[in-house]
Amino acid sequence: MGTVRDIGSIEACGWLEASMDRVVQALHTAFEQHRGQTRKHSKIPYTVHVLDVARLLLSEPDASEDVVVAGILHDTLEDTPYSAWQMEKEFGPAVRGLVEFATEPQKDRATSMAEKRRTWKSRKEHTIMAARVASTDQLLVLLADKLSNLQSLEVDLATQGDEVWDHFNAPRLDIAWYYTTLRDIFGDKLAATRIFRRYDVLVDEVFGPVGR
């Protein structure tokens, strides 16, 4: 599998063409599966987040084509009827494995708003535990997702103010704990990446002193 860094080589021409075919296929699948869904407490199509994650990973020199495709599909198993079996058939076992890493276990998924609030801490602790032993590729997918969320949060705070925090299933301090804990984990393996450097700065901008 190639990486975005390979684009500068002669051999990369075939990789890029093939990879963009897979990227387009993954985008088509994500757009179909997420059709009608919107971002939390907004009218923004959910696919805006999908495109943002794709952009972040495509701009990361060491992101493999499987990582980019998995980033595009990262929420399909959790939030749509799309099956892991179908994903493996269409995109391969590596993509399926990366997406399954980014997916909350079925037993931990909450349905009602009250249940989401009650289980928020345990669900985030599960993500943190998994991230501590994750591969670089797994962390890249997770980091791109979280960075995209942070960027959206930054815009929401600028336009709506502190009332934004009322839309979350946990208090601001708990959310800051989650993103800063992940920052420590991401920094161990991804400190040299473009997206980590942006994430590192944005955590401080969004959460302020509590982020440190």
- Give the model confidence (pLDDT) of 150-191 as tens digits: 999 999 999 999 999 988 989 999 999 999 999 999 999 999
Predicted confidence at residue 39, as pLDDT, reads 85
Locate all alpha helices (DSSP H) within the chain, ordered by sequence. 12-33, 47-58, 65-72, 76-79, 84-91, 93-101, 113-132, 136-160, 172-190, 194-207
From 58, 57, 63, 72, select the one nearest 102 (Cα to Cα). Answer: 72
Predicted confidence at residue 210, as pLDDT, reads 61
Please confirm, yes or no, whether 162 is among the known catalytic residues. no
CA distance 12 to 14: 5
CATH no. for 4-211: 1.10.3210.10
CA distance 47 to 39: 9
Threshold 0.85, pTM exceeds: yes
Q: Out of 78, 88, 100, 104, which one is annotated catalytic? A: 78
Q: Where are the domains of the chain?
A: 4-211
For residue 107, pLDDT over 60 is answered with no
Helix pair angle (136-160, 172-190), 10° resolution:
140
In this predicted model, what pLDDT tens digit does every residue of 4-60 receive, in sequence order? 444 443 344 344 555 589 999 999 999 999 999 988 777 899 999 999 999 999 999
Residue 34's φ and ψ, nearest 5 degrees, are -95, 10
Q: Out of 65, 66, 75, 79, which one is annotated catalytic? A: 79
Please confirm, yes or no, whether 78 is among the known catalytic residues. yes
DSSP assignment letter at 165 = G
In this predicted model, what pLDDT tens digit does every residue of 49-101 receive, in sequence order? 999 999 999 999 889 999 999 999 999 999 999 999 999 999 999 999 999 99
